[in-house]
Structure 1
Amino acid sequence: MFIRSHPTGYAQFMKQNPKTVRMWMITCLLFNFGLATLENDRDFKMCGIWSHGNASRNLEYDLRTGCDIIEISANENTLSIRGSITAKCTRSSSIHLDSNPLQNQSNFCVFWDPLLDLLIVEVNGKNHILCERKGLQGSCCTDLSQDYQKKASLYGIVKGSFHGDIIWNDVMEIYTFKGGSINCKETFCDEASQKSRGANMIEEEVMKSNTIGRVDLPCAQGTVIEMKEGFKGLNLTLPAPPSVDPNMRASVYLPSCLKSTTKTKSKVVCTYYMEQKLFQGGPSNSTLLGGIVGLSVENETIKNLPEPVKIRFHHSALPSNYSKQCVSWDTRKDSEVNWRSEGCETVIISVTETECRCNHFAYVTVFKQVEQKATRHLEAPTFITAVGCALSLVSCVVLLYWLSKRRGKKDHSLLVHRGLVVATFFLCLCFSLTSTLANTGNETVCKITGTLLHYSLLSTLCWMTVEMFHTVLLVCCVFTSSLPPWVFYLAGFGIPAVLVCRLLSIGIIYGFRNIMASEDATGLYFICWMLDSDRSRLAHFIINIGLLAVVVSSGAVMLFFVATKIQNRPEWRKNRMAFLSIWGLTCLLGTTWSLFNFVLLTEATLSLFCIINSCQGCFLMLRYYTLEWKKKRCELSLDGGSTGSVTLQCRDGVFISE
């Protein structure tokens, strides 16, 4: 009042308190901006001043489905809304309005949202919902335009406006607006595609629709989940257009940490976008591999989750010179909207499956891009492995036939040899088939093959360990004949079976596994093996690497122990060459695997690894012939010489004193 009544005082106040004045002006601007943003932004908005009497007042409405006209009228005590513009809402009633005997005018607005089938009348700041949200509508009545008006003498609508533009300043009794029927969902998708944040616009509208369950739009398909108290996580498969194979639909895992402890319930919208028209950008050398999954929670920004959200995409197999990467379109991060890889981990499940594990909510997809870095050539190692495995398979069959013709009732050496040959045969067989079966794309077959390959590998390593312990028993203890055969079978075949069954009970461990391919190759390089996941990596380091360490370290320890044990015995001079040759070959079988796990794979070490390990069957045959040759020499020495007071016998080419 002081400022308005005294201009000179106003100028003096401005001069003396510039900071206060600036703050007051900024506050006014923010207040006005807040009012603007709080306004209902609907397809139809008609406002005015209702001039009425001081008696009781009512809001009457009579609404029908169809697409004709909406009539807004007013008299001394009634504001009336009538017409046929709704998709599903059919309602008629009367609402008593609060009356003030000293007030003869009321501000009102009529808001109509055809997409949601929502009609609201606001009188003196209080909303009255005449038609509630019925979900997103297909065919709806919109584009309401002015039609017929009728003047009033005293009571009616003053300063009627349409979307803020004054229609008449005079008192009017009736305003009518005529509508047209359109496909609301298609129009809404077209509008969203022209916005920089069109995907946000879609999810916000879905959130407002009060729908629980599936939501279908021409540009997106989604599911609305309501998280209530006690929410413990959820796995769901997202809906997709009919053109998408049901087996190729994306799936989402929502962790329990999404549920806010401060709210009794909240909604999650999971949306699947088949096309990229709502999103722009991306690396220059990459293209979209599958659809896009959008995730949002009602009135919340989700980030830094302790347990990641998992989105699994199904897609076609890629050429070997392409790689896959999970990216997110996070429109809430900053003003610059683009695809980012931060916050999402890419996990390759199989040839046609990729899982994105993200610690925040955004729009997530998988990009395929040409691998720019130089890659390792696998054609030569693949050929070497195939030839070596073929030779090993033949060697194992021949060796198993020769061993089966020999009989040893008291000596278990043949039993141990046969066990190692059988395990090696199945290892070479499974490894020969794994790449071929992986490229068929059958997930079940690949899981079974990966399981058998892992079992045969563990069995081979266990039989190598049994071979070493058996040799120690021959040289030092001389009581192997007292051990029942099931002890050896349990160690060689039983322990690997227990370990593999335990891994199968934990969860998804085996399946498709991609390996590095050459940059100019046209084929795919996939194998059926342990997956590239946290559980599989942990199992690999604990079981595979652990068992390898046992084989290598126990071989070295026992070799040293036996050498110190018998070096002063009279038979040592005759035994040492055979002993060292036997143990050298035995240790070779285990130490070669360490090339792949502990040594940096260069071209030379990769080729050496392929040659030595694929030819293990050949090495077993060489070892067997070495043992036979030493045994014959040993027997000849016993026949031609005198043992004196010491009784000697020859087993596996080693002198044993009795």
Structure 2
Amino acid sequence: MMWGQAMRGILGLICFIAPMGRMESESDLDFKMCGTWLHGTGHRILKYALTKGCGSPNISALNISANKTTLSITGTITASHESVGQIQLNDTTWGDSSPFCVLWEPLVDRLRVEVNGRNYTVLRSAGLQERCCTDLSSKDQTSAQTSYGIVNGSMRTDVMSYKTQGTFGFYGQTINCKKEFCEEAQEATRKVNIIEEAMMKSGVLGIVNSACFQGEVMEMDADFTGRDITFPGEGTARGPRPSMRRPAVHLPACLKPDRPGDMKAKVVCTFFKNNTIFKIKEKVIERKQPNAWILEDVVGISVENAIISGLPEPVKIGFHHPALPKNHSRKCVSWDTRTAPNEVDWKTDGCKTVPIGEDKTECHCNHLTYFSILVQIEQRDSQCHLEALTFITAVGCSVSVLSCVILFYSLCKKRKNKSKDQSSPIHRGLVVTLFFLSLLFILTGVLANVGGEPMCRVVGALLHYALLSSFCWMAVEIFHTFWMVYMIFSSPPKPVIWYMLGFGIPALPVGILVSRDDIYGLREVRPSGDVDNPYMMCWMKDNSNAWLAHYLTNVGFLFLLISTGLVMLFVVLSKIRKRDEWQKRKLAFLSMWGLSCLYGTTWAFGLLEIGPYYCPVTFLFCIINTLQGFFIMVRYYILERIRNSKESILDGSTSGSTRQHMLQAQERN
């Protein structure tokens, strides 16, 4: 009989502990004792008698005993109130044995007993306790005088006795529970969630204070219309000092619980007075965010038994902080310890940063977790003299737009006159793409502020297409020149081939990238002197996928264009440098400059924006390339004038004139 009871007890313990592993997380300060109660088949009773104190050196703080009819929980263990009574247990589905667990939560002064999977709260929480009885250890065990009692008694997962015992006694000690609780959470960052769980279990609404945090617990029902929470700050009798002001939280109405009837949901807002509890290590932040750190204040928001994300109306958290220098940026970040429990992982996803003055920042977030402010010294991501560069870009692009219109008109007029210049279609293609590229650069800031993210997805893709198309048409200029110089007796490809190369090739990468949601959109360019007032534009976003697309397309196209353009420029100049016209310095300089524009070599300045010459090179790059359409137009008209006055053999296109010069040389031979 004893063997059969023992086997049933082991099986019952295994079946009961399995679901217990899926319970809410527990603090290491909590006590949990489980076993199998061997009893009779009649009526059974759960008795309890709990009083204030923590036992004594000779008296157990908690005693758990069992006999044929009664499971008893007695002791001197509570911090704030007493509980005495009994509960009838009439469940007979388990026959003559029942798995049970006794769970003592000292921080909230609550004791629960589970028998056969049913939960009985024998000591209800009275809030977070300052002094509590914990660190319970087993010292006294009394063997059962009969076959009834507790078998396979264990603390957490450690078995204390496989034998049938009548009583288990546990000794404890009184500690500063809130302080120990904070230290435990700080030692294991993944356990920081137990702070909110403890406040939810405490059964108390309102302000909760501790050594490491300050919190407020409230309830939401179906009529919840929103709530503003302000944590009281430290200061004088006249009020909190500005430097000590606490964060303020606005909870929107959309947080209200989607539950039947009058069921309510608890909300816990927690303010952490410093970020040490989150294990903020400088080397961790430095690796992911160079020259960055988290401000002291951290706010956590959670809803009972729910994971909140994708809110239609954001939660707003206002942080007060010292005034930051102009070259320091501030970003709202969040860290969900449930999805990234073992590593510090502050992210900007789901949060919008709203600067309010120099010493206050508001975070608008569509989810609930832990929030703070990431401060970063802006270097590479900031732009020197952004206002001046923006003005130069606007003026230069406006001049290029007008120049492209004039030059396009002249090229079309030349076509009507049935000119045999075979480079005119290529020049027209380049002029068209430069026109749209310059125009979109002028409008990108306005469209970003007016249309926002949806508009910028379209404009960013069009701007990228215009840029790649300009590179392609410059490459066509290079190839056409090569053809004219070395394929003297062969007819060049038809214009339709050039149009397919210039307009068709860039459509392929842009068409692939536009199908993704994380490539094109709103982009912020931060001035180095005032990083909190960024310039908004429509372009590629600032994320890893967009940067990868930038390097593969823009930098890849540009590197190929510049390398072939420099080689071709050298080849062409070596062919014409012995001509009489080359001795005229103005014409030589003009030809070199015009060919450089046509072959895209001026874009090489974009690859030199590094080191101490970053700002000067940036200005030079901006001036030269925004006026590219103007320079090409000036070169075209000067060479047309020279050709018409017969001062040179060159015609309106370098490639065409070079071909004519070489053909004439062949005829003379």
Q: Taking structure 2 as the reference length, what is the TM-score of the superposition?
A: 0.52
Q: Tell me, yes or no, if the aligned pair for 1:388 and 1:614 is still in contact at 8 Å.
A: yes
Q: Tell me, yes or no, if the aligned pair for 1:294 and 1:364 is still in contact at 8 Å.
A: no
- How far is the alpha carbon of 1:277 from its aligned partner? 2.0
Residue number in structure 2 paired with 1:617: 629
Residue number in structure 2 paired with 1:450: 460
Q: Tell me, yes or no, if the aligned pair for 1:450 and 1:511 is still in contact at 8 Å.
A: yes
Residue number in structure 1 paired with 2:90: 93
Which of 552, 574, 595 pairs up with 1:586? 595
CA gap of 1:543–1:367, structure 2 versus 1, over 3 A, is: same
Residue number in structure 2 paired with 1:488: 498
Task: Measure the CA separation in 1 of the matches of 2:403 and 2:618.
Answer: 23
CA gap of 1:481–1:579, structure 2 versus 1, over 3 A, is: farther
Residue 367 of structure 1: SS of its match in structure 2? strand
Residue number in structure 1 paired with 2:394: 386
Residue 374 of structure 2: SS of its match in structure 1? strand
Q: Tell me, yes or no, if the aligned pair for 1:327 and 1:366 is still in contact at 8 Å.
A: yes
What's the CA shift string for 1:241-267, capped at 9, x where partnerless?
435799xxxxxxxxxxxxxxxxxxxxx
Task: Measure the CA separation in 2 of the matches of 1:348 and 1:539.
Answer: 23
Which of 205, 212, 226 pairs up with 1:196? 212
Q: Tell me, yes or no, if the aligned pair for 2:469 and 2:503 is still in contact at 8 Å.
A: yes
- How far is the alpha carbon of 1:618 from its aligned partner? 0.7
Residue number in structure 2 paired with 1:551: 561
- How far is the alpha carbon of 1:602 from its aligned partner? 3.6
CA gap of 1:50–1:323, structure 2 versus 1, over 3 A, is: closer
- How far is the alpha carbon of 1:560 from its aligned partner? 3.2
What's the CA shift string for 1:549-569, capped at 9, x where partnerless?
22222122223334556778x
Q: Tell me, yes or no, if the aligned pair for 2:48 and 2:83 is still in contact at 8 Å.
A: no
Task: Measure the CA separation in 2 of the matches of 1:132 and 1:480.
Answer: 96
Residue number in structure 2 paired with 1:257: none
CA gap of 1:319–1:511, structure 2 versus 1, over 3 A, is: farther
Task: Measure the CA separation in 1 of the matches of 2:205 and 2:556.
Answer: 57
- How far is the alpha carbon of 1:192 from its aligned partner? 5.4
Instruction: Tell which structure's C-alpha radius of gyration is larger.
Output: 1
- How far is the alpha carbon of 1:438 from its aligned partner? 2.5
Residue 514 of structure 2: SS of its match in structure 1? helix
Percent identity of equivalent pairs? 33
Residue number in structure 1 paired with 2:329: 323
What's the CA shift string for 1:329-353, capped at 9, x where partnerless?
8999xxxxxxxx9655768999889
Residue number in structure 1 paired with 2:485: 475
Which of 490, 503, 510 pairs up with 2:513? 503
Residue number in structure 1 paired with 2:618: 606
Note if 1:530 corresponds to 2:540. Answer: yes
- How far is the alpha carbon of 1:604 from its aligned partner? 2.5
Residue 412 of structure 1: SS of its match in structure 2? coil
The root-mean-square deviation of aligned C-alpha atoms, in Å, is 6.2
- How far is the alpha carbon of 1:426 from its aligned partner? 0.7
Task: Measure the CA separation in 2 of the matches of 1:414 and 1:390.
Answer: 23
Residue number in structure 2 paired with 1:180: none
Residue number in structure 1 paired with 2:433: 423
Residue number in structure 2 paired with 1:64: none
Task: Measure the CA separation in 1 of the matches of 2:315 and 2:640.
Answer: 56
Residue number in structure 1 paired with 2:157: none
Listed as ranges, the matches of 1:234-633 within 5 Å are 241-243=251-253, 277-280=271-274, 292=300, 323-325=329-331, 344=346, 363=370, 365-367=372-374, 376-407=384-415, 408=418, 410-440=420-450, 442-478=452-488, 481-505=491-515, 508-519=518-529, 523-563=533-573, 572-573=579-580, 581-588=590-597, 590-600=600-610, 601-633=613-645
- How far is the alpha carbon of 1:512 from its aligned partner? 2.3
- How far is the alpha carbon of 1:409 from its aligned partner? 6.6
Listed as ranges, the matches of 1:113-262 within 5 Å are 120-121=112-113, 129-131=118-120, 188=204, 190=206, 193-194=209-210, 196=212, 241-243=251-253
Amino acid at match of 2:90: S
CA gap of 1:602–1:53, structure 2 versus 1, over 3 A, is: closer
Residue 385 of structure 2: SS of its match in structure 1? coil
Residue number in structure 1 paired with 2:31: 38
Residue number in structure 1 paired with 2:12: none
Q: Tell me, yes or no, if the aligned pair for 2:459 and 2:538 is still in contact at 8 Å.
A: yes
Task: Measure the CA separation in 2 of the matches of 1:132 and 1:420.
Answer: 80
Amino acid at match of 2:607: N
What's the CA shift string for 1:314-337, capped at 9, x where partnerless?
9899998651357678999xxxxx
- How far is the alpha carbon of 1:495 from its aligned partner? 0.8
Q: Tell me, yes or no, if the aligned pair for 2:334 and 2:347 is still in contact at 8 Å.
A: no
CA gap of 1:630–1:108, structure 2 versus 1, over 3 A, is: closer
Task: Measure the CA separation in 1 of the matches of 2:379 and 2:492.
Answer: 62
Task: Measure the CA separation in 1 of the matches of 2:317 and 2:637.
Answer: 50
Task: Measure the CA separation in 2 of the matches of 1:272 and 1:382.
Answer: 51
CA gap of 1:192–1:396, structure 2 versus 1, over 3 A, is: same
Residue 556 of structure 1: SS of its match in structure 2? helix
Amino acid at match of 1:402: S
CA gap of 1:191–1:98, structure 2 versus 1, over 3 A, is: farther
CA gap of 1:650–1:488, structure 2 versus 1, over 3 A, is: closer
Amino acid at match of 1:614: T
Q: Which segments of 5 or more consecutive residues in structure 2 lack a partner in the other structure?
A: 1-26, 34-46, 52-61, 73-81, 128-166, 175-198, 218-225, 230-249, 257-264, 281-291, 304-313, 319-323, 356-360, 364-368
Amino acid at match of 2:31: L
What's the CA shift string for 1:278-298, capped at 9, x where partnerless?
453599998699975789xxx
Task: Measure the CA separation in 2 of the matches of 1:440 and 1:290.
Answer: 34
Residue 513 of structure 1: SS of its match in structure 2? strand
Q: Taking structure 1 as the reference length, what is the TM-score of the superposition?
A: 0.53
